[in-house]
Amino acid sequence: MKQRRVALVPTMGYLHEGHLSLARLAAASSDVVIVSIFVNPTQFNNPADLATYPRDLKRDLDLLEKEDFKIVFAPHEDELYAEGFQSWVNVARLTETLEGAHRPGHFQGVATVVSMLFNAVAPDAAVFGEKDFQQLRVIEQLVKDLKFPVEIIRAPIVREDDGLALSSRNVRLSPEERSSALLISKGLFEARALFQKGERNGSKLTAVVHSQLSQSPLIAPEYVELVREDDLTPIAQAAPGARILLAATVGKVRLIDNLSL
């Protein structure tokens, strides 16, 4: 009897087209798709962000039902973090910069919960989107180092027609903030166009992004970095395999985005 291939799509719920695209990608190469829905408290370093993170399990289940994804793993917090919980998973160098520097403890929470999901579901593959590119690299390193028998499938960023990267947090943007948020992807696309014209100076490429972000008083950039994709090391000169990663607060909503050059 042929063993069925199982793919896991980890999410924190409030699903959108980006999440559904991950599930479709999983279905294309697997017999069974399991979508997990769990707002992981240990990856939030800001209690207010955790408290306002959008949640609507019924809505999520309805969306998955329409897409014909029938298996959902939605554990309660106590099922994963029982009383007395004290074990953590850390990935070192990849978590020391970018999101890791601005959100202490974030990747410890991510690596720990993903490890628990892998143990609970025992998938053959798991799909992670490139929008959270540092998280993707951390999970790839985690799987490699701890010998999880899980294939990590990368999924491309899904954007609105106007360029805004899909995010569950977008629902919290006011109309004015959403308009300002478009400057994020506009800056990234301008940097890539400049790279394609032959510019390799990292400072000039990131300056283009900063120039766009500065056009709105609603945007407060946290970082705009040109890095090597493999180890996320900042680089001064762009080359194939370079990517710009950024984080910015628009109003009170923190957004991340990135673009490969």
Single-letter code of the amino acid located at 4: R
Q: Residues 64, 15: contact at Cβ < 8 Å? A: yes
Q: Pairing state of beta strands 6-11 and 125-129?
A: parallel
Q: What is the pLDDT of residues 163-222, one digit of tens each?
A: 999 999 999 999 999 999 999 999 999 999 999 999 999 999 999 999 999 999 999 999
Sort residue 83 into left (φ over 0), alpha (ψ -120 to 50) or beta. Answer: beta
Distance CA(204)–CA(202), nearest Å, equals 5
- Residue 90, beta-bridge partner list: none
Give the dihedral of Cα atoms 204, 241, 20, 97; nearest 10 deg. -70
Give CATH 3.30.1300.10 domain extents, the chain.
168-260
The correct CATH number of 6-155 out of 3.40.190.10, 3.40.50.1400, 3.40.50.620, 1.10.150.20 is: 3.40.50.620
Q: How far apart are CA 224 and CA 206, in angstroms?
A: 6
Give the residue range(s) of CATH 3.40.50.620 domains in the chain: 6-155
Q: Which class for 152: exposed (0-12), middle (13-18), buried (19 or more C-beta within 10 A)?
A: middle
Dump pLDDT digits (tens) for 113-169: 999 999 999 999 999 999 999 999 999 999 999 999 999 999 999 999 999 999 999
pLDDT at residue 173 in the model:
97
Residue 3 has pLDDT above 90, yes or no: no
Average of pLDDT values for 16-45? 97
d(C-alpha 12, C-alpha 238), whole Å: 33
Residue type for 30, please?
S
Percentage of the chain exceeding pLDDT 70: 99
* Catalytic residue (choose from 16, 19, 76, 106): 19
- At 72-109, the pLDDT tens digits run 999 999 999 999 999 999 999 999 999 999 999 999 99
Does the annotation mark 19 as catalytic? yes
**Predicted pLDDT at 2:** 65
Count of CA atoms in the C-beta half-sphere (13 A) of 26? 31
Work out the angle at residue 91's Cα, subtended by the Cα atoms of residues 89 and 95, and round it to the nearest 5 degrees: 125
Question: What's CA 261's distance to the chain center, in Å?
Answer: 18
Rounded CA-CA distance 181/219 in Å is 8
Q: Which CATH architecture has domain 168-260?
A: 2-Layer Sandwich (3.30)
Most confident range (mean pLDDT) of 67-71, 178-182, 238-242 is 178-182
What is the rounded average pLDDT for all residues in the chain? 97
| CA dist., res. 119 & res. 97, Å (int) | 28
pTM: 0.95
8 A C-beta contact, residue 183 and residue 213 = yes
